[in-house]
Amino acid sequence: MILTVTLNTALDITYRVRSLRPHASHRVTEVTERPGGKGLNVARVLAALGHEVTVTGFVGGATGHALQEQLLGAERISDALVPVHGSTRRTVAVVDTSTGDTTQLNEPGPSIAPAEWAAFQEAYEDLLGSASAVALCGSLPPGVPVGAYGTLIRTARSASVPVLLDTSGEPLRRGIAARPDIVKPNADELAELTGSHEPLQAMKDTRRRGAHAVVASLGAEGLCALTPDGAWRAPAPDRLSGNPTGAGDSAVAGLLSAQAEKLPWPDRLARAVALSAATVVSPVAGEFDRKTYDDLVTRVTVSERAGAA
């Protein structure tokens, strides 16, 4: 099974309005709720691709109860979330259907006590015993040490479980020093980490800091990757409009699923790009449009880049 870690889980609420205007009252035309947080979005896409997934992280309060209720009966997804005293956060995405733009509102999450962090680490170590890979995803809730991902990466490496890290800021910086197998920043996160706005140079610097392989999301431009096997660029074949929330999480699912199937890097990137684009046209984060994916995955062109050494 593949293990996804979402320390700051959320109940994702999506509102659709005809036109979003500041300082105005709006009539919501559609409301959806889904278990959320980056790792849960990754898990949902992995399950849709046919992989068995276990989700873990923190969950608590009435919002956490609602999240777990929606996980009940989810095909191929097992719930190993760790209970805490505080309440799971909510995120609200407001989609303007006239433009396709999305406005995101994210709560900070519950404050985690030292004993709760210790309980999670114990549960995580147990779960690694049956994991083929682990994804560490998203922000840290208050109370969790800023070096938490570094600790979890070292634990996974001790268990010989490949680990992918998808976070930002200081948790990303400290996590990279623990030598994850893959990191998946976006262009802004790469620039913040390295000071370079040139993706290839920034990825080289990220590898020097400890990452085994770097896959960078470039938004509508697709993905680029720097790995021990070479460097590649995988642009999206079409520019699609819609809700970009969760597109990066679908890319992570594509990378993990293709790794589990032992596909070469160009095929991993093609799958990740196609899934990311197919998520943009889906109305809800953590889901992708299957028809769009099936069409795009055969048309993504992955080219090798020179000067990767």
Q: Verify whether residue 96 is a known catalytic residue.
A: no
Q: How far is CA 115 from CA 64, 84, 111, 121, 305, in A?
A: 19, 10, 12, 10, 47
Q: Which two tokens stand for residue 38?
A: 């980056």
Q: Which of 126, 249, 267, 294 is catalytic?
A: 249
β-strands 82-83, 53-59 pairing: parallel
DSSP 156: H
The answer for residues whose C-beta is within 8 angstroms of residue 38's C-beta and 6 or more apart is: 6, 137, 138, 166, 248, 249, 252
DSSP-derived pairing of the beta strands 213-217 and 223-227: antiparallel
Residue pair 249/4 in contact by the 8 Å Cβ criterion:
no
AA identity, residue 155: T
Q: Which residues are catalytic?
A: 249
